[in-house]
Structure formats: C-alpha cells, structure tokens
C-alpha cells in the first residue's frame, strides 16, 4: 500500500515507477507554477494593482478561451514531434512570468493603469504558450509509460499535482499573513518561475517517442459542426455540459475578487478558502470513486447541481448579510470544490459510456474545447456586468443577479440531467492525471487517441 502511494519513487521503494519519475516530478513542479500563474494568487495580485472585475475575468478566462489552440497545436505534431512541441510551449511559458515578478518587486503604492494592461498581456502570452505544449504532453506520456504501470502512473500524477497545489497555496497563505503584500507576491512569482524552470528540466530528461502520422484536418473541420448540431445523445449532453460550465466557471475568480475588493478579507484568509476548495475536489472524487460503477454518473451530476444550487443561495446570503460570517465562506469553497470535482469525474465516466472507444478522440476534444471556451466567454461577460464604480470593486446587486441566474440554471438543468440515458455497468473513465483539477485537459485526447502514437523509440534514438 505504501509503495502504491509513494509520490517519489526510487529504485528501492518502487522499481516499476522509478524509470518514469521525471514525468511525475514534472507534474509536481508544474503545479507550483500554474497555481500562482493562473490561480487565486493571480486574482489577488490583479486586485492589488487596481484591476476591475472585467480585467480580472479576462485574464482568468484566457486559460479557457485559448483552449481551441490546443487543437491547432496538435496538427504540428507530425512535423515537430511530441518532445520538441511540448518543450517549446513550456519553455516559453515561464518567461512571461517576468512581468508580474517585475511589477511585484517594484511594488508601486499607486499602480499606473499600464501595469494592469502589461499584466493582462503577459497572461495572454502565458496561456498561449501553455496551449502549444499541453496539446502534446498527455499523448507523449501515454506513449512513454507502458500499459502495466500506466494506471498507477496517472493516479500518482494526479496525487503529485494535488500535493503541490495544496502545498503552494498553504505557503502562499503564510506569506500573506507574515509579509507585506508586494513582498509576498514577489516571492510567490519567483517560486512560480522556479517551478517553471524545474518542470522544464524534468521534461528534458523524458525520452521522446516516435512522431505520429499526419492528422486529417479536413475531417476535423467537417465532423466538428456535425457533432455539435446533429441530433443525438452526444449533442444533448454537450450543450447541457456547456450550460453547466457557463454558470460554474466564473464563480471561483469572482468570489475571490469580491472577498478582497468588496468584503475586505485578507489575502491569507482567501487563499485558505482556496485550499478548502481543493480539499473539496479530493473529498468529492474519493466519495464517488467506489460508488460510480454501481450507481452510474447521473446521480453525481444531480449531486453537483444540488451543491451549486446550495452555493448560489449561500453566496447570495453572504452578499446580503455580509461576508465576514465566521467560516461560512470556507464551507462554501469546500462545497464548490466538491461540486466541481464530482461533475468533472462523472463527466469523464459518462463520456466513456456515451462514445465508442474507436470514435472518442474528436468528440472528447470537442467537448473539452467547447465547454472550456464558453466558460471563458461567460467569465469575461460576467466580469463586465459585475464591474463596480471605481476599481477595484464589485457591484453587489449585479453579483446577486449572477447567483440568482446560477440558481435558476441549476433548477432548469436538474430535470434535463435526470432524463439522461446511461448504459449500465462499469467502464474505464477518461481520467488521466490532472483532468480532475484542470478539466480542459480533455482536449489532449485529440492527440492521445486520434493520432494513436506508436511505441517508444529506443534509448539511443537521436530524438532523445
């Protein structure tokens, strides 16, 4: 049991996973990077610079709006290969953290407007380069790790990401509690840059695999609109999932922004709430893991909707009565994590039942790209709607409207989800590594399944 849970395999304690340790170490250091780069600390730093809710929503949404770029990057795999393309994306990404590092070290008491524009531009480039690399990395790992240990590898990959995420947020909270704001942000972004460099070094040590054959882009362009519009179970589920992402994606960044800009809570406390959110994800997936084969995915979809309805009522109450009511925000963040964790895991399970294995790649990639993109669009639009008078601020009435829309949407989606048709029996879910923490990773299935990479090259291959 200890062998199976050891996150740092060695030749002695876990000889089976030891040859693939560099991939696991990458997951750990990569989470150190993106938790700061595109997580709650990013939202808090933008608030420190005086950004409006629209600007915060735009920077946060780039992660989702640029997801379709992964599909375009996949078309470059036959020319550049998995390793070169991944290293290009991850190598470029870290450099764009220089902008927030410089701004944080400078620490202006009254930040000029251009600092916000520079930060938003840096986040666009950061996420664009991320999309170039992420489109290949899952397929690369699938081809590199052999089938007998693949399941344990990706389970450990998920554990490493979660461990690094909680550690990063915990240390960030302590920094906010003990240090001046700009000093804490400086150390956080420097550590994110160090995580980016260490993650890159881990990837360099992973051997390359044979390049895939050419992708038929015409097939992608022809089949995509058919999948979106053709009557059937997939279209029904696709647009239902889009609706859920539209109401759920904006909740995390704007609640953090409101708690700082509107309620005046300390950054240390807000980051602790984010830790509660990740603990909720872990608790939700652990709760359903031993039950979903018996009950199917549909009860967990309904459970997630019920949690989001409860969240809408809870946040509306906090907006009306005040956000400093003891530990209530922490409880709501925990429920938010549990709701999103159950939905994402149930989604991967349901798609595996809905789609034949030989036809999954394009529909799964389309599902992830469209739901993520529309979630990003919703975040930008709500950011403009929630914009208060003088930034940073939130229009409380508009925020109450947001949660009212969320509540109505969950009530409408409830009977729609209850009518979903689902095959009985167990199925291997489409869960790989960080998919539970970063659901837009589903786009990588276009590479991992559609391209079907051949076996790994021998160790003396020049592509190493």
Q: What is the mean pLDDT of residues 398-420?
A: 95
With pLDDT > 90 as the criterion, what percentage of the chain qualifies? 50
Annotate the chain with three-state secondary structure: CHHHHCCCCCCCCCCCCHHHHHHHHHHHHHHHHHHHHCCHHHHHHHHHCCCCHHHHHHHHHHHHHCCCHHHHHHCCHHHHHHHHHHHHHHHHHHHCCHHHHHHHHHCCCCCCHHHHHHHHHHHHHHHHHHHHHHHHHHHHHHHHCCHHHHHHHHHHHHHHHHHHHHHHHHHHHHHHHHCCHHHHHHHHHHHHHHHHHHHHHHHHCCCCECCCCCCCHHHHHHHHHHHHHCCCHHHHHHHHHHHHHHHHCCHHHHHHHHHHHCCCCCHHHHHHHHHHHHHHHHHHHHHHHCCHHHHCCHHHHHHHHHHHHHHHHHHHHHHHHCCCCCCHHHHHHHHHHHHHHHHHHHHHHHHHHHCCHHHCHHHHHHHHHHHHHHHHHHHHHHHHHCECCCCCCECHHHHHHHHHHHHHHHHHHHHHHHCCCCCCCCCCCCCCHHHHCCHHHHHHHHHHCCCCCCCECCCCCCCC
pLDDT score at 7 = 63
CA separation, residue 453 to residues 88, 203, 283, 306, 424 (Å): 20, 18, 35, 41, 31
Residue 454 lies in a domain: no
In a domain, 255, yes or no: yes
Residue with tokens 């001046």: 180
pLDDT at residue 159 tops 70: yes
**Mean pLDDT across the chain:** 84
Residue with tokens 């030749």: 11
Residue 5 in domain: no
Q: Judge whether 190 lies within some domain.
A: yes
Residue 441 pLDDT exceeds 80 = no
Residue 357, pLDDT score: 67
For residue 42, how far is the Cα from the chain centroid?
14
Q: What per-residue confidence (pLDDT) applies to 5? A: 55
106 pLDDT more than 80: yes
145: left (phi over 0), alpha (psi -120 to 50) or beta: beta
**Encoding tokens for residue 182?**
């700009």
- Whether cis (ω within 30° of 0) applies to the bond prior to 392 is yes
Please report the pLDDT score of residue 132 as a whole number. Answer: 84
Render pLDDT for 218-249 as a digit per residue (tens, 0 to 9): 777 777 788 788 888 888 899 999 999 999 99
pLDDT score, position 450: 46
Query: What is the model's pLDDT at position 6?
Result: 64
The whole-angstrom separation of Cα 438 and Cα 444 is 12
Find the range with the poorest average confidence among 88-102, 164-178, 259-273, 324-338. Answer: 324-338
- Give the model's pLDDT for residue 449: 47
Interatomic CA distance for residues 61 and 346, integer angstroms: 24
Domain that holds residue 124: 18-448
User: What pLDDT is attached to residue 369?
Assistant: 83
Report which of 28, 3, 29, 27 is spatially closest to residue 16, judged by C-alpha positions. 3
Which pLDDT does position 2 carry in this prediction? 44
Give the predicted TM-score (pTM) of the model: 0.88
Structure tokens, 454: 């051949």
- The candidate with the shortest Cα–Cα distance to 273, out of 169, 185, 394, 396, is 169
The answer to whether residue 375 is domain-embedded is yes
Asked if residue 453 is part of any domain, the answer here is no
For position 215, what pLDDT does the model report? 66
* pLDDT over 60 at 440, yes or no: no
pLDDT of 423 reads 76
Tell whether the model's pLDDT for residue 400 goes beyond 60: yes
Residue 405 belongs to some domain of the structure: yes
Q: Are 55 and 48 in contact (CB under 8 A)?
A: no
User: Average pLDDT, stretch 349-365?
Assistant: 76
Q: Which of 190, 39, 181, 189 is nearest to 108 (CA)?
A: 181
Q: What is the largest CA-CA distance in the chain?
A: 66
* Nearest Cα residue to 17 out of 4, 26, 30, 28: 4
Task: Give pLDDT, residue 359.
Answer: 67
pLDDT of residue 107: 93
pLDDT digits (tens, 9 = 90+) for 26-76: 999 999 999 999 999 999 999 999 999 999 999 999 999 998 887 777 778
Burial class (CB in 10 A: 0-12, 13-18, 19+), 357: exposed
Over residues 187-210, the pLDDT tens digits come to: 999 999 999 999 999 999 999 888
The CATH number covering residue 336 comes to: 1.20.1250.20
Q: For 297-308, write each residue's pLDDT tens digit.
A: 889 999 999 999
Residues 113-138, mean pLDDT to the nearest whole number: 90
Residue 394 pairs in a beta bridge with 387
Q: Tell me the C-alpha to C-alpha distance, in Å, between residue 146 and each of 61, 91, 153, 298, 445.
A: 35, 26, 10, 32, 18
Please check whether residue 316 lies inside any domain of the structure.
yes
- Mean pLDDT over residues 393-419, rounded? 94
- 299-312 as b/e: b if 16+ CB within 10 A: bbbbbbbebbbbbb
Share of the chain above pLDDT 70, in %: 86
Domain count, the chain: 1
22 φψ region: left (φ > 0), alpha (ψ -120 to 50), beta (else): alpha
């Amino acid at each position: 049991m200890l062998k199976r849970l050891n996150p740092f395999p060695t030749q002695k304690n876990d000889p089976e996973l030891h040859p693939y340790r560099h991939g696991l170490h990458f997951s750990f250091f990569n989470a150190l990077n993106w938790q700061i780069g595109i997580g709650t600390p990013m939202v808090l730093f933008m608030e420190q610079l005086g950004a409006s809710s629209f600007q915060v929503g735009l920077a946060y949404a780039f992660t989702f709006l640029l997801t379709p770029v992964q599909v375009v990057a996949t078309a470059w795999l036959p020319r550049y290969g998995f390793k070169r393309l991944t290293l290009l994306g991850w190598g470029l990404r870290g450099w764009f953290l220089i902008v927030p590092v410089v701004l944080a070290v400078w620490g202006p008491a009254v930040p000029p407007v251009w600092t916000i524009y520079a930060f938003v531009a840096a986040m666009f480039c950061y996420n664009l380069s991320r999309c170039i690399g992420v489109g290949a990395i899952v397929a690369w790992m699938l081809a590199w790790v052999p089938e007998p240990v693949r399941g344990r590898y990706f389970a450990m990959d998920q554990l490493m990401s979660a461990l690094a995420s909680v550690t990063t947020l915990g240390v960030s909270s302590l920094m906010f509690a003990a240090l001046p704001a700009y000093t804490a942000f400086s150390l956080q972004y420097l550590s994110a840059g160090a995580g980016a460099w260490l993650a890159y070094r881990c990837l360099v040590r992973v051997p390359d695999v044979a390049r895939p054959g050419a992708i038929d882009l015409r097939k992608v362009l022809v089949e995509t609109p058919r999948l979106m519009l053709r009557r059937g179970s997939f279209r029904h589920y696709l647009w239902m999932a889009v609706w859920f992402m539209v109401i759920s994606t904006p909740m995390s960044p704007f609640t953090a922004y409101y708690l700082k800009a509107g309620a005046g809570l300390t950054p240390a406390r807000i980051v602790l709430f984010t830790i509660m959110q990740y603990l909720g994800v872990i608790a939700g997936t652990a709760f359903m893991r031993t039950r979903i084969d018996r009950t199917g995915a549909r009860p967990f979809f309904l459970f997630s909707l019920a949690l989001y309805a409860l969240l809408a009522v809870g946040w509306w109450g906090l907006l009306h009565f005040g956000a400093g009511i003891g530990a209530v925000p922490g409880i709501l963040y925990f429920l938010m994590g549990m709701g999103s964790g159950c939905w994402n895991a149930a989604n991967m399970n349901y798609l595996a039942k809905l789609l034949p294995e030989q036809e999954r790649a394009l529909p799964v990639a389309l599902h992830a790209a469209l739901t993520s993109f529309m979630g990003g669009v919703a975040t930008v639009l709500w950011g403009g709607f929630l914009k208060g008078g003088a930034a940073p601020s939130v229009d409380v009435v508009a925020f109450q409207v947001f949660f009212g829309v969320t509540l109505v949407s969950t009530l409408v989606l409830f009977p729609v989800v209850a009518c979903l048709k689902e095959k009985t029996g167990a199925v291997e879910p489409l869960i790989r590594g960080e998919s539970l923490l970063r659901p837009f990773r589903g786009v990588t299935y276009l590479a991992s399944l559609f391209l079907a990479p051949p076996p790994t090259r021998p160790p003396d291959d020049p592509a190493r």
